[in-house]
Structures are given as structure tokens and as C-alpha cells.
Amino acid sequence: MKRVIVTGANGQLGLALKDVAKDFNLDLVFKDKSALDITDAKAVNKVFFSDTFDVCINAAAYTDVDGAETNKSLAFAINATAVETLAKVCKQHQCWLIHVSTDYVFDGTLGRPYTPSDEPNPLSVYGSSKLSGERVIQEIDFDYSIVRTSWLYSRFGVNFYTKIKSQIDLGIPLKICSLQIGTPTRTEDFAKHIISGLENNSLIRGLSHYCGKQHMTWFELAKRLFPNSKIERDLERNLKIRPLRVVLKN
Ligand SMILES: NC(=O)c1ccc[n+]([C@@H]2O[C@H](COP(=O)([O-])OP(=O)(O)OC[C@H]3O[C@@H](n4cnc5c(N)ncnc54)[C@H](OP(=O)(O)O)[C@@H]3O)[C@@H](O)[C@H]2O)c1
């Protein structure tokens, strides 16, 4: 049975991984930020020296796209420097690193779905920090999978679905961006993709994409998730740091 450590266990993806993993034959250790701060290199090394893991899923990240514009050093510390620490420790301990990245590495100008071999060009600090995280992994010769996904939504943690639901529950009028286009991905599906892929060893090594089957605007996604709620179109989202149209190709 594979022994797996999951960082960032209290985030949306971490919680979904925990939920999905119940149905698989794996020995999982979940570490939230208070149990393992991945920017603390000493703590990361200690965990790997005091235990043995076959796989590390890095679900920890700085994910506040707007906040990253003014917290650049923190975004890079978590999304790039700490990822390098994890990669080095995984190499040292012969542990397969599964790292998650984002559609925000692209600028959205391609005009067709993005494949893993398309050239990234992030518009935002968040996207740049995540791309740096990919690059530090790729520079080290070891066993890794980087999976880019997009627009994760679920009942877990804080995300598009839970934020809208709480606004609806509070009776707050909803205006949702109808300009940006992307590929929404059910977080449970993504978690299952990772967990089943690591259990049966089928998860692609190197760089791959995983996303939902249809592309749409945030407004369209909100209408699908909450068909009976009154939702207005918003044309004012900050699109300087958000790619207008990124459709990932699986
Ligand atoms: N959400 C999306 O739509 C989306 C789309 C594409 C890709 N992704 C990628 O998917 C991955 C998971 O995202 P998510 O939606 O689950 O994000 P999330 O809900 O924000 O979860 C990230 C988790 O990482 C934790 N964390 C932050 N700094 C940490 C540190 N120094 N050490 C350990 N843990 C730390 C956070 O804790 P605190 O909250 O306490 O800081 C949080 O629990 C990320 O790599 C993200 O870039 C997400």
C-alpha cells in the first residue's frame, strides 16, 4: 500500500482529496498549514526524515489572485521557493511529487485550447509564482507529476460555489463576471483523477492538464449551479491580471 503525504490539507483540494481517498487502498497522512508550513524548510525536512512516504501531493498554495499583486514575496515563497524545498526533499527520499498548477500560467490569447506544450505567459503575480513553482520542479531530475487544472469548484473550503451559495443564503444580490471564459472543474473529479492515478500508477509523469469538459463564463457556471437564483451579469472584473479566455485541453 502506498504511503502518501498531502500538504495544504485544509484547503479546497486537500479536503476533497481526503473525502475521495476513503474509497481507495492508500495510507494517507494529511498535513494542514498548522501541522506543516511548507515555507519552513527545516520542518519539511524533519517530516521526511522522521517518516517514509512513497508519494507527496502538494495541495498547499497561495491562491489569492488579487492579494498576490500586493503580496508578491509571500506568493513566491509559497508557490515557488517552498515548492523547490519539497522537490529537493522528495528527490532525496525517492518520493513521487504530485504538484498542482493552474491555467493562470497562460495569457489567454492563443485562440484554441491550451496543451501542456503551449508557451506560458502569466499576466498576474499569482500566475508567475505558480509558473516558477513548475519550473523549479522541472529543473530537478526526479519523479514528479505537475497537473494544471482550472476553475475548481466544490462544497469544500472556500471557492466559487461556496462563496456564491453563502451570498444566496444571505439574500445578497449576485453579479457575476460574464467576460472571462474558462474550463470549470469539479474538485471531486480532479481529486479522483489524482488519487486513482497515483494508486494505479497511471498519472502522467511530467506536465499534464486536467479540467472539466465544457468551457463557459463564470456567469454561465453560476447559472448552472444555481438555476433558480437571480443572478446578473457583471462586466467589471479586473481582467488585467485575469486571462480573458483560457480553455485547457486534457
Ligand atoms: N481554486 C482553483 O480554482 C484552482 C484552479 C487551478 C489550480 N488551482 C491550484 O490547485 C491547488 C489547490 O488549490 P485550492 O483551491 O485547494 O486552494 P485553497 O483552498 O486556497 O487551499 C490552499 C491551502 O494551502 C494552505 N497553505 C497556504 N500557505 C501554506 C503554507 N505555507 N504551508 C502549508 N499550507 C499552506 C492554505 O492554508 P490557509 O488558507 O490557512 O492559508 C490552504 O489550506 C493550488 O496549487 C492552486 O494553485 C486552484
**pLDDT per residue over 124-158, tens digit each?**
999 999 999 999 999 999 999 999 999 999 999 99
Q: Is residue 117 part of a domain?
A: yes
Give tens-digit pLDDT for 186-230.
999 999 999 999 999 999 999 999 999 999 999 999 999 999 999
Cell 497537473 belongs to 147
Residue 234 to residue 29: CA distance in whole angstroms: 42
14/191 Cα distance (integer angstroms): 8
Is 235 inside a domain boundary? Answer: no
131: Cβ–Cβ under 8 A, 6 or more apart, which residues? 101, 105, 120, 122
Q: Is 194 in the pocket of ligand 1 (CB under 6 A)?
A: no
pTM value > 0.95: yes
104 in a structural domain: yes
Q: Is residue 157 in contact with ligand 1, taking CB distance under 6 Å?
A: yes
Q: Which of 63, 104, 208 to mutate to test the pocket of ligand 1 (most atoms within 8 A of CB)?
A: 63
Boundaries of domain holding 23: 3-159+184-212
Ligand 1 neighbour 168 (Cβ under 6 A): no
The reply to whether 37 falls in a domain is yes
Q: pLDDT confidence of 237, banded at 50, 70, 90?
A: low
Q: Looking at residue 69, which CATH number applies to its domain? A: 3.40.50.720
**218, part of any domain:** no
Residue 242 domain-assigned (yes or no): no
Total domain count, the chain: 1
Report how far apart, in Å, the C-alpha atoms of 98 and of each of 7, 25, 112, 160, 198 are: 11, 18, 27, 24, 9
Q: What is the mean pLDDT of the chain?
A: 96
Atom of ligand 1 nearest to the CA of 39: 31
Q: Please report the pLDDT score of residue 135 as a whole number.
A: 98
User: Would you say residue 144 lies in a domain?
Assistant: yes
For residue 90, being part of any structural domain is answered with: yes
CA distance 165 to 161: 6
Å from CA of 210 to ligand 1 middle: 17
